[in-house]
Chains A and B, each alone.
Chain A
Amino acid sequence: MGFEFNEKVIDHFENPRNVGELEDADIVETVGSPVCGDMLTLYIKLKDGKVNDVKFKTFGCGAAIATSSLFTELIKGKTIEEALKVTSDVVVDVIGGLPEKKVHCSLLAPDAFKQAIEKYKEKQ
Protein backbone atom coordinates (compact mmCIF):
# COMPACT_ATOMS: atom_id res chain seq x y z
CA MET A 1 0.00 0.00 0.00
CA GLY A 2 1.02 3.59 0.31
CA PHE A 3 0.39 6.10 -2.43
CA GLU A 4 2.32 5.19 -5.55
CA PHE A 5 1.68 8.22 -7.70
CA ASN A 6 4.25 9.69 -10.05
CA GLU A 7 5.06 13.40 -10.06
CA LYS A 8 2.71 14.12 -12.97
CA VAL A 9 -0.24 12.61 -11.11
CA ILE A 10 0.68 14.60 -8.00
CA ASP A 11 1.01 17.78 -10.07
CA HIS A 12 -2.48 17.35 -11.51
CA PHE A 13 -3.83 16.51 -8.06
CA GLU A 14 -2.26 19.55 -6.43
CA ASN A 15 -2.77 21.94 -9.33
CA PRO A 16 -5.76 20.60 -11.22
CA ARG A 17 -6.49 22.28 -14.55
CA ASN A 18 -9.97 23.42 -15.57
CA VAL A 19 -11.69 22.94 -12.22
CA GLY A 20 -15.05 24.61 -11.80
CA GLU A 21 -18.28 25.21 -13.65
CA LEU A 22 -19.14 26.88 -16.96
CA GLU A 23 -22.24 29.02 -16.70
CA ASP A 24 -22.78 29.04 -20.46
CA ALA A 25 -22.01 25.36 -20.98
CA ASP A 26 -23.73 23.63 -23.91
CA ILE A 27 -23.68 20.32 -22.06
CA VAL A 28 -23.47 19.43 -18.37
CA GLU A 29 -23.02 15.75 -17.73
CA THR A 30 -22.69 13.89 -14.43
CA VAL A 31 -21.50 10.31 -14.02
CA GLY A 32 -21.33 8.24 -10.85
CA SER A 33 -23.12 8.92 -7.59
CA PRO A 34 -22.30 9.35 -3.92
CA VAL A 35 -23.59 5.83 -3.32
CA CYS A 36 -21.05 4.21 -5.64
CA GLY A 37 -18.54 6.59 -4.18
CA ASP A 38 -17.13 8.64 -6.99
CA MET A 39 -18.81 11.27 -9.02
CA LEU A 40 -17.84 13.70 -11.75
CA THR A 41 -19.57 16.54 -13.55
CA LEU A 42 -18.24 17.86 -16.87
CA TYR A 43 -19.20 21.29 -18.21
CA ILE A 44 -18.61 21.48 -21.97
CA LYS A 45 -18.78 24.42 -24.35
CA LEU A 46 -18.72 23.55 -28.05
CA LYS A 47 -17.92 25.81 -30.98
CA ASP A 48 -17.59 24.89 -34.66
CA GLY A 49 -17.52 21.17 -33.82
CA LYS A 50 -14.70 21.66 -31.33
CA VAL A 51 -14.40 21.57 -27.55
CA ASN A 52 -14.14 25.30 -27.01
CA ASP A 53 -14.00 25.08 -23.23
CA VAL A 54 -14.35 22.38 -20.59
CA LYS A 55 -14.41 22.35 -16.82
CA PHE A 56 -14.95 19.64 -14.23
CA LYS A 57 -15.91 19.02 -10.64
CA THR A 58 -15.40 15.70 -8.92
CA PHE A 59 -16.07 13.96 -5.66
CA GLY A 60 -13.30 11.45 -5.94
CA CYS A 61 -9.89 10.31 -4.83
CA GLY A 62 -6.54 11.76 -5.85
CA ALA A 63 -6.34 9.66 -8.99
CA ALA A 64 -9.85 10.73 -10.05
CA ILE A 65 -8.95 14.39 -9.60
CA ALA A 66 -5.63 14.06 -11.45
CA THR A 67 -6.92 12.06 -14.41
CA SER A 68 -9.99 14.28 -14.81
CA SER A 69 -7.73 17.31 -14.84
CA LEU A 70 -5.48 15.81 -17.48
CA PHE A 71 -8.48 14.71 -19.56
CA THR A 72 -9.85 18.25 -19.76
CA GLU A 73 -6.43 19.50 -20.78
CA LEU A 74 -6.18 16.87 -23.51
CA ILE A 75 -9.59 17.50 -25.09
CA LYS A 76 -9.66 21.28 -24.94
CA GLY A 77 -9.49 22.69 -28.49
CA LYS A 78 -9.89 19.27 -30.11
CA THR A 79 -12.73 18.37 -32.49
CA ILE A 80 -15.46 16.24 -30.95
CA GLU A 81 -14.26 13.23 -32.94
CA GLU A 82 -10.67 13.69 -31.78
CA ALA A 83 -11.75 14.23 -28.20
CA LEU A 84 -13.76 11.00 -28.23
CA LYS A 85 -10.51 9.18 -29.01
CA VAL A 86 -9.05 10.33 -25.67
CA THR A 87 -9.98 7.19 -23.79
CA SER A 88 -8.99 6.25 -20.26
CA ASP A 89 -6.11 4.24 -21.77
CA VAL A 90 -4.80 7.41 -23.38
CA VAL A 91 -5.17 9.36 -20.13
CA VAL A 92 -3.33 6.71 -18.12
CA ASP A 93 -0.60 6.57 -20.76
CA VAL A 94 -0.09 10.34 -20.94
CA ILE A 95 -0.08 10.72 -17.15
CA GLY A 96 2.70 8.14 -16.98
CA GLY A 97 0.79 5.22 -15.49
CA LEU A 98 -1.38 4.58 -12.44
CA PRO A 99 -1.35 1.82 -9.82
CA GLU A 100 -3.53 -1.05 -11.08
CA LYS A 101 -6.33 -0.53 -8.56
CA LYS A 102 -6.52 3.15 -9.49
CA VAL A 103 -6.91 2.68 -13.23
CA HIS A 104 -10.71 2.64 -12.90
CA CYS A 105 -10.61 6.22 -11.63
CA SER A 106 -9.46 7.38 -15.06
CA LEU A 107 -12.73 6.15 -16.61
CA LEU A 108 -14.86 8.87 -15.04
CA ALA A 109 -14.03 11.82 -17.30
CA PRO A 110 -13.91 9.98 -20.67
CA ASP A 111 -17.20 8.24 -19.76
CA ALA A 112 -18.84 11.55 -18.88
CA PHE A 113 -17.64 13.11 -22.13
CA LYS A 114 -18.81 10.20 -24.27
CA GLN A 115 -22.21 10.21 -22.58
CA ALA A 116 -22.45 13.99 -22.93
CA ILE A 117 -21.77 13.91 -26.67
CA GLU A 118 -24.26 11.07 -27.24
CA LYS A 119 -26.98 13.07 -25.51
CA TYR A 120 -25.98 16.23 -27.34
CA LYS A 121 -26.20 14.49 -30.73
CA GLU A 122 -29.60 13.04 -29.88
CA LYS A 123 -30.89 16.51 -29.18
CA GLN A 124 -29.55 17.99 -32.43
Chain B
Amino acid sequence: MTSEIDRIYLDNSATTAVDRKVINAMLPFFDVKYGNASSLHSFGKEATDALESSRRKVATAVGAMPKEVYFTAGGTESNNIALQGVMLKNKSRGNHIITSSIEHPAVLETCEFLETIGFEVTYLPVDKMGIVSLDDLDGAMTDKTVLVSIMHANNEVGTIQPIREIGALSHEHGALFHTDAVQSFGKIPIDVEYNNIDLLSISGHKVHGPKGIGALYVREGTPIQPIIYGGGHERGLRSSTENIPGIVGFGKACELISTHLDKDIISMTKLRDSLIKEILDSVPKTKLNGHPTKRLCNNVNISFEAVEGEALVLSLDRTGIAASTGSACSSKNFTASHVLLSMKIPDIMALGSLRFSLSRYNTQDEISYILDKIPPMVQRLRDMSSLWKEE
Protein backbone atom coordinates (compact mmCIF):
# COMPACT_ATOMS: atom_id res chain seq x y z
CA MET B 1 0.00 0.00 0.00
CA THR B 2 1.47 3.33 -0.97
CA SER B 3 0.73 6.28 1.22
CA GLU B 4 2.36 9.56 2.05
CA ILE B 5 4.58 8.72 4.98
CA ASP B 6 4.37 12.23 6.41
CA ARG B 7 0.67 11.89 7.16
CA ILE B 8 -1.30 9.41 9.27
CA TYR B 9 -4.86 8.66 8.26
CA LEU B 10 -7.17 7.73 11.12
CA ASP B 11 -10.48 8.78 9.63
CA ASN B 12 -11.46 5.51 7.98
CA SER B 13 -15.09 5.80 9.08
CA ALA B 14 -15.26 8.80 6.73
CA THR B 15 -13.64 6.99 3.83
CA THR B 16 -10.77 4.62 3.12
CA ALA B 17 -7.88 4.30 0.70
CA VAL B 18 -8.73 2.10 -2.28
CA ASP B 19 -6.76 -1.14 -2.12
CA ARG B 20 -4.22 -1.46 -4.96
CA LYS B 21 -5.69 -4.89 -5.84
CA VAL B 22 -9.09 -3.20 -6.17
CA ILE B 23 -7.69 -0.52 -8.47
CA ASN B 24 -5.99 -3.13 -10.65
CA ALA B 25 -9.22 -5.12 -10.91
CA MET B 26 -11.11 -2.00 -11.98
CA LEU B 27 -8.70 -0.62 -14.58
CA PRO B 28 -9.63 -2.80 -17.61
CA PHE B 29 -13.26 -1.77 -17.22
CA PHE B 30 -12.53 1.85 -18.07
CA ASP B 31 -10.90 1.54 -21.46
CA VAL B 32 -10.82 -2.10 -22.59
CA LYS B 33 -13.92 -3.83 -21.26
CA TYR B 34 -16.03 -0.69 -21.22
CA GLY B 35 -19.27 -2.13 -22.52
CA ASN B 36 -22.81 -1.54 -21.31
CA ALA B 37 -24.19 -4.62 -19.60
CA SER B 38 -27.46 -4.14 -21.49
CA SER B 39 -25.74 -4.53 -24.89
CA LEU B 40 -25.97 -7.77 -26.89
CA HIS B 41 -22.42 -7.78 -28.33
CA SER B 42 -19.23 -9.12 -26.76
CA PHE B 43 -18.54 -5.84 -24.95
CA GLY B 44 -21.93 -6.18 -23.30
CA LYS B 45 -21.23 -9.80 -22.40
CA GLU B 46 -17.94 -8.84 -20.71
CA ALA B 47 -19.74 -6.23 -18.65
CA THR B 48 -22.53 -8.64 -17.70
CA ASP B 49 -20.04 -11.32 -16.68
CA ALA B 50 -18.16 -8.82 -14.50
CA LEU B 51 -21.42 -7.56 -13.00
CA GLU B 52 -22.65 -11.02 -12.03
CA SER B 53 -19.26 -12.21 -10.81
CA SER B 54 -19.06 -9.13 -8.57
CA ARG B 55 -22.60 -9.74 -7.33
CA ARG B 56 -21.57 -13.23 -6.23
CA LYS B 57 -18.60 -11.80 -4.31
CA VAL B 58 -20.79 -9.27 -2.50
CA ALA B 59 -23.39 -11.95 -1.75
CA THR B 60 -20.74 -14.29 -0.32
CA ALA B 61 -19.43 -11.56 1.97
CA VAL B 62 -22.84 -11.19 3.69
CA GLY B 63 -24.16 -14.77 3.39
CA ALA B 64 -26.78 -13.92 0.78
CA MET B 65 -27.83 -15.34 -2.57
CA PRO B 66 -26.51 -13.32 -5.54
CA LYS B 67 -30.04 -12.51 -6.73
CA GLU B 68 -30.70 -10.80 -3.38
CA VAL B 69 -27.94 -8.23 -3.98
CA TYR B 70 -28.76 -4.96 -5.76
CA PHE B 71 -26.01 -2.51 -6.66
CA THR B 72 -26.61 1.15 -5.79
CA ALA B 73 -24.60 4.36 -5.79
CA GLY B 74 -23.68 3.95 -2.11
CA GLY B 75 -24.88 3.61 1.45
CA THR B 76 -27.14 6.64 1.36
CA GLU B 77 -28.96 5.38 -1.71
CA SER B 78 -29.27 1.87 -0.26
CA ASN B 79 -30.85 3.30 2.89
CA ASN B 80 -33.23 5.45 0.84
CA ILE B 81 -34.36 2.55 -1.34
CA ALA B 82 -34.81 0.29 1.69
CA LEU B 83 -36.89 2.74 3.71
CA GLN B 84 -38.87 4.47 0.99
CA GLY B 85 -39.19 1.37 -1.19
CA VAL B 86 -40.56 -0.83 1.61
CA MET B 87 -42.88 1.78 3.13
CA LEU B 88 -44.36 2.83 -0.21
CA LYS B 89 -44.89 -0.78 -1.29
CA ASN B 90 -46.56 -1.84 1.96
CA LYS B 91 -49.04 0.98 2.51
CA SER B 92 -51.88 -1.50 2.77
CA ARG B 93 -50.10 -3.36 5.59
CA GLY B 94 -49.30 -0.33 7.72
CA ASN B 95 -47.67 3.06 7.96
CA HIS B 96 -45.33 2.73 10.94
CA ILE B 97 -41.55 2.55 10.95
CA ILE B 98 -39.30 2.18 13.98
CA THR B 99 -35.74 3.46 13.97
CA SER B 100 -33.27 4.85 16.51
CA SER B 101 -32.23 8.36 17.45
CA ILE B 102 -28.57 7.70 16.56
CA GLU B 103 -28.96 6.60 12.94
CA HIS B 104 -26.95 8.15 10.11
CA PRO B 105 -28.66 11.15 8.45
CA ALA B 106 -29.33 8.91 5.40
CA VAL B 107 -31.85 7.07 7.58
CA LEU B 108 -33.01 9.91 9.85
CA GLU B 109 -33.63 12.38 7.02
CA THR B 110 -35.41 9.72 4.98
CA CYS B 111 -37.66 9.01 7.97
CA GLU B 112 -38.38 12.72 8.31
CA PHE B 113 -39.34 12.82 4.65
CA LEU B 114 -41.60 9.79 5.11
CA GLU B 115 -43.32 11.62 7.99
CA THR B 116 -44.14 14.51 5.66
CA ILE B 117 -46.04 12.13 3.36
CA GLY B 118 -48.09 10.53 6.09
CA PHE B 119 -45.96 7.75 7.57
CA GLU B 120 -45.41 7.49 11.30
CA VAL B 121 -41.94 7.09 12.74
CA THR B 122 -40.82 6.08 16.23
CA TYR B 123 -37.28 7.13 17.13
CA LEU B 124 -36.05 4.79 19.87
CA PRO B 125 -33.72 6.28 22.49
CA VAL B 126 -30.38 4.68 23.37
CA ASP B 127 -28.65 4.15 26.70
CA LYS B 128 -25.42 5.87 27.81
CA MET B 129 -23.39 3.39 25.77
CA GLY B 130 -25.50 3.97 22.66
CA ILE B 131 -27.45 0.71 22.71
CA VAL B 132 -31.12 0.39 21.76
CA SER B 133 -33.28 -1.47 24.32
CA LEU B 134 -35.16 -4.54 23.10
CA ASP B 135 -37.92 -3.73 25.60
CA ASP B 136 -38.29 -0.28 24.07
CA LEU B 137 -38.46 -1.86 20.63
CA ASP B 138 -41.05 -4.38 21.80
CA GLY B 139 -43.09 -1.57 23.35
CA ALA B 140 -42.97 0.53 20.19
CA MET B 141 -44.34 -2.23 17.95
CA THR B 142 -47.92 -1.79 16.72
CA ASP B 143 -50.01 -3.74 14.26
CA LYS B 144 -49.17 -0.98 11.76
CA THR B 145 -45.40 -1.49 12.07
CA VAL B 146 -44.02 -2.45 8.67
CA LEU B 147 -40.31 -1.87 9.09
CA VAL B 148 -37.67 -1.67 11.81
CA SER B 149 -34.45 0.07 10.74
CA ILE B 150 -31.63 -0.05 13.28
CA MET B 151 -27.99 0.43 12.32
CA HIS B 152 -25.58 -2.44 12.91
CA ALA B 153 -22.85 -0.23 14.36
CA ASN B 154 -22.74 3.49 14.92
CA ASN B 155 -20.46 5.63 12.77
CA GLU B 156 -19.40 8.00 15.54
CA VAL B 157 -19.04 5.93 18.69
CA GLY B 158 -18.81 2.46 17.15
CA THR B 159 -21.44 0.89 19.41
CA ILE B 160 -22.73 -2.42 18.04
CA GLN B 161 -26.47 -3.11 18.31
CA PRO B 162 -27.91 -6.55 19.11
CA ILE B 163 -29.16 -6.88 15.54
CA ARG B 164 -29.84 -10.61 15.68
CA GLU B 165 -32.26 -10.09 18.56
CA ILE B 166 -33.71 -6.96 16.94
CA GLY B 167 -34.32 -8.93 13.75
CA ALA B 168 -35.98 -11.78 15.62
CA LEU B 169 -38.21 -9.41 17.58
CA SER B 170 -39.19 -7.58 14.39
CA HIS B 171 -40.18 -10.85 12.77
CA GLU B 172 -42.23 -11.92 15.84
CA HIS B 173 -44.32 -8.81 15.26
CA GLY B 174 -44.55 -9.39 11.53
CA ALA B 175 -42.27 -6.46 10.68
CA LEU B 176 -39.33 -6.41 8.28
CA PHE B 177 -35.84 -5.64 9.57
CA HIS B 178 -33.41 -3.33 7.78
CA THR B 179 -29.94 -2.59 9.08
CA ASP B 180 -27.51 0.06 7.93
CA ALA B 181 -24.26 -1.92 7.97
CA VAL B 182 -22.14 0.71 6.22
CA GLN B 183 -19.78 0.99 9.21
CA SER B 184 -19.82 -2.61 10.40
CA PHE B 185 -19.22 -4.30 7.04
CA GLY B 186 -15.58 -5.28 6.87
CA LYS B 187 -15.21 -4.98 10.65
CA ILE B 188 -17.75 -7.54 11.91
CA PRO B 189 -18.68 -10.82 10.20
CA ILE B 190 -22.18 -10.42 8.77
CA ASP B 191 -24.55 -13.21 7.88
CA VAL B 192 -28.00 -12.08 6.83
CA GLU B 193 -29.56 -15.43 7.75
CA TYR B 194 -27.99 -15.73 11.20
CA ASN B 195 -28.74 -12.10 11.99
CA ASN B 196 -32.40 -12.20 10.85
CA ILE B 197 -31.86 -9.38 8.35
CA ASP B 198 -34.35 -8.64 5.55
CA LEU B 199 -32.59 -5.60 4.11
CA LEU B 200 -28.97 -4.51 4.55
CA SER B 201 -27.09 -1.45 3.29
CA ILE B 202 -23.36 -1.50 2.56
CA SER B 203 -20.96 0.86 0.84
CA GLY B 204 -17.79 0.40 -1.24
CA HIS B 205 -15.64 3.30 -0.12
CA LYS B 206 -15.72 2.36 3.57
CA VAL B 207 -14.07 -0.99 2.81
CA HIS B 208 -11.16 0.03 0.56
CA GLY B 209 -13.36 0.03 -2.51
CA PRO B 210 -14.21 3.00 -4.72
CA LYS B 211 -16.63 5.82 -3.91
CA GLY B 212 -20.00 5.95 -5.66
CA ILE B 213 -20.86 2.28 -5.30
CA GLY B 214 -22.82 0.38 -2.69
CA ALA B 215 -25.29 -2.43 -2.40
CA LEU B 216 -28.63 -3.23 -0.87
CA TYR B 217 -29.36 -6.79 0.17
CA VAL B 218 -33.08 -7.56 -0.09
CA ARG B 219 -34.23 -10.95 1.18
CA GLU B 220 -35.98 -12.86 -1.60
CA GLY B 221 -39.73 -12.22 -1.50
CA THR B 222 -39.51 -8.94 0.45
CA PRO B 223 -42.15 -6.55 -0.88
CA ILE B 224 -40.32 -3.44 -2.11
CA GLN B 225 -40.71 -0.97 -4.97
CA PRO B 226 -38.18 1.25 -6.74
CA ILE B 227 -37.72 4.93 -5.98
CA ILE B 228 -35.82 5.55 -9.24
CA TYR B 229 -37.50 4.60 -12.52
CA GLY B 230 -35.94 3.95 -15.91
CA GLY B 231 -34.50 1.10 -17.94
CA GLY B 232 -35.22 -1.61 -15.41
CA HIS B 233 -31.65 -2.34 -14.33
CA GLU B 234 -31.01 -4.36 -11.17
CA ARG B 235 -34.23 -6.30 -11.74
CA GLY B 236 -36.19 -3.08 -11.81
CA LEU B 237 -35.27 -1.94 -8.32
CA ARG B 238 -32.54 0.47 -9.33
CA SER B 239 -32.59 1.71 -12.89
CA SER B 240 -29.41 3.33 -14.23
CA THR B 241 -26.65 1.91 -16.41
CA GLU B 242 -24.53 -0.20 -14.10
CA ASN B 243 -21.31 1.39 -12.81
CA ILE B 244 -19.22 -1.57 -13.91
CA PRO B 245 -15.76 -0.30 -12.82
CA GLY B 246 -17.23 0.60 -9.42
CA ILE B 247 -19.07 -2.71 -9.15
CA VAL B 248 -15.93 -4.67 -10.07
CA GLY B 249 -13.96 -2.68 -7.48
CA PHE B 250 -16.60 -3.27 -4.82
CA GLY B 251 -16.68 -6.97 -5.69
CA LYS B 252 -12.91 -7.18 -5.32
CA ALA B 253 -13.06 -5.31 -1.99
CA CYS B 254 -15.69 -7.81 -0.78
CA GLU B 255 -13.52 -10.72 -1.89
CA LEU B 256 -10.65 -9.27 0.16
CA ILE B 257 -12.97 -8.94 3.17
CA SER B 258 -14.04 -12.56 2.83
CA THR B 259 -10.42 -13.72 2.92
CA HIS B 260 -8.88 -11.16 5.34
CA LEU B 261 -11.58 -10.28 7.84
CA ASP B 262 -10.50 -12.44 10.78
CA LYS B 263 -6.92 -11.22 10.56
CA ASP B 264 -8.00 -7.59 10.06
CA ILE B 265 -10.25 -7.68 13.12
CA ILE B 266 -7.43 -8.97 15.32
CA SER B 267 -4.94 -6.32 14.17
CA MET B 268 -7.39 -3.40 14.33
CA THR B 269 -8.67 -4.46 17.76
CA LYS B 270 -5.12 -4.51 19.10
CA LEU B 271 -4.39 -1.00 17.82
CA ARG B 272 -7.78 0.26 19.01
CA ASP B 273 -7.29 -1.03 22.54
CA SER B 274 -3.78 0.34 22.71
CA LEU B 275 -4.98 3.80 21.61
CA ILE B 276 -7.86 3.82 24.08
CA LYS B 277 -5.86 2.59 27.06
CA GLU B 278 -2.87 4.83 26.49
CA ILE B 279 -4.91 7.99 25.95
CA LEU B 280 -7.08 7.39 29.01
CA ASP B 281 -3.97 6.61 31.07
CA SER B 282 -1.89 9.56 29.92
CA VAL B 283 -4.47 12.34 29.72
CA PRO B 284 -6.57 13.21 32.80
CA LYS B 285 -10.30 13.94 32.60
CA THR B 286 -10.91 11.94 29.46
CA LYS B 287 -13.71 9.52 28.84
CA LEU B 288 -14.35 6.81 26.29
CA ASN B 289 -17.62 7.35 24.43
CA GLY B 290 -19.57 4.24 23.48
CA HIS B 291 -19.33 0.69 24.73
CA PRO B 292 -15.95 -0.72 25.85
CA THR B 293 -16.43 -4.10 24.16
CA LYS B 294 -19.60 -3.99 22.02
CA ARG B 295 -17.64 -1.70 19.78
CA LEU B 296 -16.34 -1.63 16.21
CA CYS B 297 -12.77 -2.96 16.11
CA ASN B 298 -11.65 0.23 14.37
CA ASN B 299 -13.39 2.89 16.47
CA VAL B 300 -11.88 5.08 19.17
CA ASN B 301 -14.06 7.94 20.43
CA ILE B 302 -12.78 9.87 23.41
CA SER B 303 -13.95 13.11 24.99
CA PHE B 304 -11.42 15.49 26.49
CA GLU B 305 -12.99 17.72 29.11
CA ALA B 306 -12.76 21.47 28.47
CA VAL B 307 -11.21 21.02 25.01
CA GLU B 308 -13.19 21.90 21.89
CA GLY B 309 -13.08 19.04 19.38
CA GLU B 310 -12.54 21.08 16.25
CA ALA B 311 -9.53 22.85 17.78
CA LEU B 312 -8.10 19.43 18.59
CA VAL B 313 -8.71 18.14 15.05
CA LEU B 314 -6.97 21.25 13.69
CA SER B 315 -4.00 20.70 16.04
CA LEU B 316 -3.75 17.08 14.92
CA ASP B 317 -4.05 18.06 11.27
CA ARG B 318 -1.12 20.45 11.71
CA THR B 319 1.04 17.49 12.77
CA GLY B 320 -0.21 15.35 9.88
CA ILE B 321 -2.75 13.26 11.79
CA ALA B 322 -6.23 13.01 10.27
CA ALA B 323 -9.06 12.47 12.78
CA SER B 324 -12.59 13.77 13.28
CA THR B 325 -14.89 15.17 15.94
CA GLY B 326 -18.57 15.15 16.84
CA SER B 327 -18.34 18.86 17.51
CA ALA B 328 -19.14 21.22 14.66
CA CYS B 329 -18.45 24.91 14.93
CA SER B 330 -20.46 26.40 12.11
CA SER B 331 -22.78 29.31 11.39
CA LYS B 332 -24.16 30.61 14.67
CA ASN B 333 -22.84 28.29 17.32
CA PHE B 334 -21.31 24.96 18.10
CA THR B 335 -23.38 21.86 17.96
CA ALA B 336 -22.52 18.58 19.55
CA SER B 337 -23.46 15.51 17.52
CA HIS B 338 -26.97 14.08 17.76
CA VAL B 339 -25.41 10.74 18.67
CA LEU B 340 -23.50 12.00 21.72
CA LEU B 341 -26.49 14.08 22.84
CA SER B 342 -28.78 11.04 22.50
CA MET B 343 -26.34 9.18 24.77
CA LYS B 344 -26.79 12.00 27.31
CA ILE B 345 -23.11 12.94 27.22
CA PRO B 346 -22.83 16.37 28.91
CA ASP B 347 -22.16 19.31 26.55
CA ILE B 348 -18.72 20.01 27.99
CA MET B 349 -17.67 16.47 27.08
CA ALA B 350 -19.71 16.09 23.87
CA LEU B 351 -18.06 19.20 22.39
CA GLY B 352 -14.64 17.75 23.16
CA SER B 353 -15.06 14.44 21.37
CA LEU B 354 -12.39 13.05 19.10
CA ARG B 355 -12.80 10.06 16.81
CA PHE B 356 -9.98 7.94 15.46
CA SER B 357 -11.11 5.27 13.00
CA LEU B 358 -8.59 2.68 11.97
CA SER B 359 -8.12 0.57 8.87
CA ARG B 360 -6.19 -2.61 8.21
CA TYR B 361 -3.31 -0.45 6.96
CA ASN B 362 -2.60 1.38 10.22
CA THR B 363 0.49 0.32 12.16
CA GLN B 364 1.68 0.28 15.76
CA ASP B 365 4.33 2.87 14.81
CA GLU B 366 1.60 5.25 13.75
CA ILE B 367 -0.28 4.67 16.99
CA SER B 368 2.89 5.31 19.02
CA TYR B 369 3.48 8.56 17.13
CA ILE B 370 -0.06 9.70 17.91
CA LEU B 371 0.26 8.74 21.56
CA ASP B 372 3.35 10.96 21.81
CA LYS B 373 1.54 13.92 20.27
CA ILE B 374 -1.81 13.83 22.05
CA PRO B 375 -1.00 14.66 25.71
CA PRO B 376 0.90 17.92 25.08
CA MET B 377 -1.62 18.92 22.41
CA VAL B 378 -4.55 18.49 24.79
CA GLN B 379 -2.66 20.25 27.59
CA ARG B 380 -1.92 23.25 25.35
CA LEU B 381 -5.60 23.67 24.53
CA ARG B 382 -6.60 23.16 28.15
CA ASP B 383 -4.10 25.78 29.31
CA MET B 384 -5.94 28.33 27.19
CA SER B 385 -9.43 26.99 27.91
CA SER B 386 -11.79 29.09 30.01
CA LEU B 387 -13.43 25.85 31.16
CA TRP B 388 -10.32 24.04 32.35
CA LYS B 389 -9.70 23.80 36.05
CA GLU B 390 -6.45 22.18 37.15
CA GLU B 391 -6.87 20.21 40.34
Binding site for B on A (CB under 8 A): 3, 5, 10, 13-14, 16, 19-20, 30, 34-41, 56-65, 101-102, 104-105
Contacts and interface: CB of A to CB of B under 8 A. Distances in A.
Nearest to B336: A37
B8 to A, nearest CB: 17
B386 interface: yes
A82 B335 CA distance: 34
Nearest to A60: B308
B314 A34 contact: no
B335 to A, nearest CB: 7
B308 A61 contact: yes
Given A37-B347, A57-B386, A64-B311, 17 more contacts: A19-B384, A34-B348, A34-B387, A36-B334, A39-B386, A39-B387, A57-B385, A58-B386, A59-B306, A59-B351, A60-B308, A60-B329, A61-B308, A61-B329, A65-B384, A101-B330, A104-B331
A65 B311 contact: yes
A10, A37, A64: residue with the most chain B Cβ atoms closer than 10 Å = A37
Interface of B: 306-308, 310-311, 314, 317-318, 327, 329-336, 347-348, 351, 383-388
The dominant DSSP class at the A interface is: mixed
Contacts of B335: 37
Given A3-B317, A62-B314, A38 B334 contact: yes
Given A61-B334, A62-B310, A38 B329 contact: yes
Contact of B329 (A20, A37, A40, A41): A37
A44 B385 CA distance: 17
A34 B347 contact: yes
B311 A60 contact: yes
A59 B310 CA distance: 11
A61 B383 CA distance: 14
Contacts of A30: 386
A59 B386 contact: yes
Contacts of A59: 306-308, 351, 385-388
A6 to B, nearest CB: 13
A59 B351 CA distance: 10
B314 A13 contact: yes
